[in-house]
């Protein structure tokens, strides 16, 4: 057995929260708004009370992205979602982890935040090991056990010196209705300019098999060691319902730049972990990998290459992300960052890995490959479809009731689609309109064949310049699906509620003609009328709460 790390534990059993439920029916059809930040009282604290932070969240109309979701296996109508919720920045100055609960299959939602944000003065908030250690929380990931406990993994970090990034897991019980504790799993090293250890991109799953390790909580993430050229995937587990976690172990070689870990548990309790490597020096290459553990994560197989890939990464279009003014790229394009990543599911038919990558024509497709045991791969990778237009990216996968479901973004509706352009841009760098939809593909034959359904009822554009008071887009790094016997649910970021407008910071500059500017009725003072510098309002200023930053999380049943 691995040595268990003694961690900070908050074991507070507080009264079940009386979270307010605000019914929201999508104006377009079957998908539903999860993050309701335009209705007074829609956000409440974990204990059903309010404070300045959640009051501001209720009407702040800020950004939410990187959604996660977990369906309760014992009550599939109970669903928990999460996101990077920027409503917290109004009072706290930065993003925090959102917590959203539905008891009716995702038709209505109660919204909250994880305890521990900087201005949280509640008993649980002050006692959280994250409180006072970090100003921002995000990268949410969630899963239920079979007894109604919800586990929520997240990173907590500081953007300014001393920069650090640590990884935590929070626990709720009573089917996600009652907050119990938060524990520290892996600490980052405070440093200047990201020179220390930064724990990042966490993924969490729970054994729901009914076997000997039922209830074990598994987490994996990328450890970035300052300026080292390579990073590694670390793993930890809890065998006592999230009270303590084992000392993290390395499960990959560390010879590559490794990230985007994703976990799954098979029907026999075996654990599977997929990750992506990124080519950054001659001895490395872009690939999707898998490792397997047959003893609950104590030991792991050697990493196996599932596929070498031609990645669909945003930096190929001019930069990680590109905006206006000081955040403009030489290509003149505007877009949020994205990258090829992989995800894994395991069921009675075997192990199923999906990823995004370019085909020979430069089109980004979702690929799938199936294995009977996670060690041998007798069939080649195939795409989910053969649609000739549109980039597909950000896949996630889950399996239940004999159905494998993959969720992904798809820009087949983009009127300006070209293989050499990011979704939502015309060739001259302008807004092409509604460009990206959320699709699911489902298989009932172990991943051999697939059928597709569009689950979003609005075509989003993810290039709106919503990144706070900056002038660049950011719409997150992933979307999510959860599936259990009796229910499944997908969540995605959506742009339908955003208010567009002209940007008053663009003094005589032509980049306001790209069509990606958002409504910000703020006062900006230029440093030089011919230069891109400007003086921005505080992030708490109400001028930023008028809809120009209004990303929301939407969800749907496949």
Q: What is the DSSP string of 496-534?
A: TT--B---TT-SS-GGGGSS--B------EES-TTSS-E
What confidence score (pLDDT) does residue 524 get?
72
* Class of the CATH domain delimited by 115-308: mainly beta
Q: Which band of pLDDT confidence, cut at 50, 70 and 90, is reported for residue 416?
A: very high
Identify the H or E element spanning 123: helix 123-127
Between 506 and 403, where is the model more confident? 403
- Provide the whole-model pTM: 0.92
Q: Which band of pLDDT confidence, cut at 50, 70 and 90, is reported for residue 9?
A: very low
Mean pLDDT along residues 505-517: 70
What confidence score (pLDDT) does residue 224 get?
76
Q: What is the DSSP letter of 392?
A: E
Angle, CA of 398, 404 and 408, to the nearest 5°: 65
Between 201 and 103, where is the model more confident? 103
DSSP code string of 87-118: GGHHHHSS-EEEEEEESSTTSEEEEEE-TT-T
What confidence score (pLDDT) does residue 21 get?
34
pLDDT above 80 for 229: no
Model confidence pLDDT, tens digit, residues 55-70: 999 999 999 999 999 9
DSSP code string of 235-252: EEEESSTTS-EEPPEE-S
What confidence score (pLDDT) does residue 12 get?
32
Model confidence pLDDT, tens digit, residues 231-265: 889 999 999 999 999 999 999 887 778 889 999 99
All CATH 2.120.10.10 domain ranges in the chain, comma separated: 115-308
Between 288 and 30, where is the model more confident? 288
Mean pLDDT along residues 296-315: 97
Angle, CA of 45, 51 and 55, to the nearest 5°: 85
What confidence score (pLDDT) does residue 1 get?
40
What confidence score (pLDDT) does residue 500 get?
94
CB contact at 8 A, 136 and 158: yes
pLDDT above 90 for 505: no
């Amino acid at each position: 057995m691995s040595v268990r790390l003694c961690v900070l534990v908050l074991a507070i059993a507080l009264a079940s929260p009386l979270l307010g439920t605000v019914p929201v029916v999508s104006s377009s059809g079957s998908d539903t708004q999860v993050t309701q930040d335009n209705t007074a009282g829609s956000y409440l604290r974990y204990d059903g009370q309010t404070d300045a932070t959640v009051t501001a969240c209720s009407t702040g109309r800020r950004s939410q992205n990187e959604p996660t979701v977990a369906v309760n296996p014992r009550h599939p109508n109970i669903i928990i979602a999460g996101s990077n919720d920027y409503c917290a920045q109004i009072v706290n100055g930065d993003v925090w982890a959102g917590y959203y609960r539905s008891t009716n299959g995702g038709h209505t939602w109660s919204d909250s935040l994880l305890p521990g944000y900087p201005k949280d003065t509640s008993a649980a908030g002050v006692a959280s090991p994250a409180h006072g250690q970090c100003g921002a929380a995000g990268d949410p990931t969630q899963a239920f056990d079979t007894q109604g406990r919800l586990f929520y993994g997240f990173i907590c970090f500081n953007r300014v010196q001393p920069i650090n990034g640590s990884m935590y897991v929070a626990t709720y019980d009573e089917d996600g209705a009652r907050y119990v504790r938060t524990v520290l799993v892996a600490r980052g090293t405070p440093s200047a300019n990201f020179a220390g250890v930064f724990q990042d991109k966490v993924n969490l799953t729970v054994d729901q098999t009914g076997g000997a390790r039922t209830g074990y909580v598994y987490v994996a993430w990328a450890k970035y060691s300052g300026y080292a050229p390579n990073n590694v995937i670390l793993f930890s587990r809890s065998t006592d319902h999230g009270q303590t976690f084992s000392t993290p172990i390395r499960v990959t070689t560390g010879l590559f730049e490794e990230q985007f870990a994703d976990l799954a548990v098979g029907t026999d309790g075996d654990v599977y972990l997929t990750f992506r490597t990124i080519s950054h020096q001659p001895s490395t290459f872009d690939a999707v990998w898998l490792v397997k553990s047959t003893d609950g994560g104590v030991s792991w197989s050697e990493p196996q290459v599932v596929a070498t890939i031609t990645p669909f990464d945003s930096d190929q279009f001019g930069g990680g992300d590109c905006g206006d003014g000081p955040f403009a790229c030489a290509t003149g394009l505007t877009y949020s960052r994205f990258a090829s990543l992989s995800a894994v599911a395991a069921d009675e038919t075997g192990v199923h890995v999906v990823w995004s990558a370019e085909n020979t024509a430069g089109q980004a497709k979702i690929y799938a490959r199936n294995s009977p045991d996670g060690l041998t791969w007798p069939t080649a990778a195939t795409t989910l479809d053969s649609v000739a237009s549109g980039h597909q990216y950000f896949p996630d996968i889950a399996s239940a009731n004999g159905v494998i479901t993959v969720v992904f973004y798809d820009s087949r509706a983009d009127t300006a689609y070209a293989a050499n352009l990011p979704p939502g841009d015309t060739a001259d760098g302008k807004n092409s309109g509604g460009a990206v939809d959320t699709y699911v593909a489902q298989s009932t034959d172990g991943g051999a064949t697939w059928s597709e359904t569009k689950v979003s009822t609005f075509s989003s554009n993810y290039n709106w310049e919503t990144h706070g008071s900056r002038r660049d887009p950011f719409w997150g790094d992933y979307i999510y699906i959860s599936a259990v016997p009796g229910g499944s649910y997908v969540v995605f970021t959506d742009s339908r509620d955003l208010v567009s407008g002209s940007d008053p910071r663009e003094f005589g500059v032509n980049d306001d003609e790209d069509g990606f500017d958002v409504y910000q009725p703020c006062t900006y003072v230029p440093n030089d009328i011919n230069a891109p510098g400007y003086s921005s309002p505080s992030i708490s200023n109400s001028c930023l709460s008028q809809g120009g930053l209004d990303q929301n999380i939407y969800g749907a049943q496949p």
